């Protein structure tokens, strides 16, 4: 009889409704960019951000072709980065300035390359990294940003 009583106590109302959709507040990702740059856009934007002037259209076409044909995309972007550095090695901030004022360097780098300000954790991590690595050069920091997945998206 006890068994029957527990069966009769079940009702349809006690079963949760898994098909109901509850409203949720969605927040944007850190980067609102969700469209990947094609190789030509990547090369052109990086050049502009580093040198403040447009890249030669013929050079851009050659670079885009090479980036598209490369088997290893990450390696191709790194080679492009190093090629740009060879072209105008003084385009980056001075190493001494980076180490003397790491906070403005980090904030400027985020704004220049990622088009956003760093959050507190990002700023703190990069400042600490710069302070604890006296041999670190601005080119290495810029390379980390320019070859990051976030940089490849708009």
The structural domains of the chain, with segments of one domain joined by +, span 37-91, 93-154
Q: Model pTM greater than 0.85?
A: no
Please list, residue by residue across 41-52, b when 16 or more beta carbons sit within 10 angstroms of its beta carbon and e when fewer do.
ebbbbbbebbee
| Residue 84 in this model has a pLDDT that exceeds 60 | yes
Q: Each residue of 6-32: pLDDT tens digit?
A: 454 555 555 555 566 666 565 555 545
DSSP string, 25-73: -----SS---SBPPHHHHHHHHHHHHHSSPPPHHHHHHHHHHHHH-S-H
Structure tokens at 145: 């940003």
Q: Each residue of 93-129: pLDDT tens digit?
A: 999 999 999 999 999 999 998 989 999 999 999 999 9
pLDDT at 28: 52
Asked if 138 and 93 touch (Cβ cutoff 8 Å), the reply is yes
Strand partners, 153: 36
pLDDT at 154: 55
Cα-to-chain-centroid distance, residue 12: 50
């Amino acid at each position: 009889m006890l068994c029957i009583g527990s069966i009769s106590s079940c009702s349809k109302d006690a079963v949760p409704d898994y098909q109901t959709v509850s409203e949720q507040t969605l927040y944007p990702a850190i980067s609102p960019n969700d469209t990947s740059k094609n190789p030509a856009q990547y090369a052109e934007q990086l050049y502009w951000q580093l040198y403040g002037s447009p890249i030669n259209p013929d050079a851009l076409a050659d670079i885009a072709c090479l980036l598209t044909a490369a088997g290893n995309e990450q390696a191709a972007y790194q080679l492009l980065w190093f090629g740009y550095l060879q072209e105008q090695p003084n385009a980056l901030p001075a190493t001494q300035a980076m180490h003397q004022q790491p906070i403005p360097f980090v904030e400027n780098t985020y704004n220049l390359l990622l088009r956003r300000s760093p959050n507190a954790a990002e700023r703190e991590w990069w400042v600490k990294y710069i302070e604890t690595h006296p041999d670190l050069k601005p080119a290495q920091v810029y390379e980390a940003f320019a070859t990051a997945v976030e940089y490849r998206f708009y």
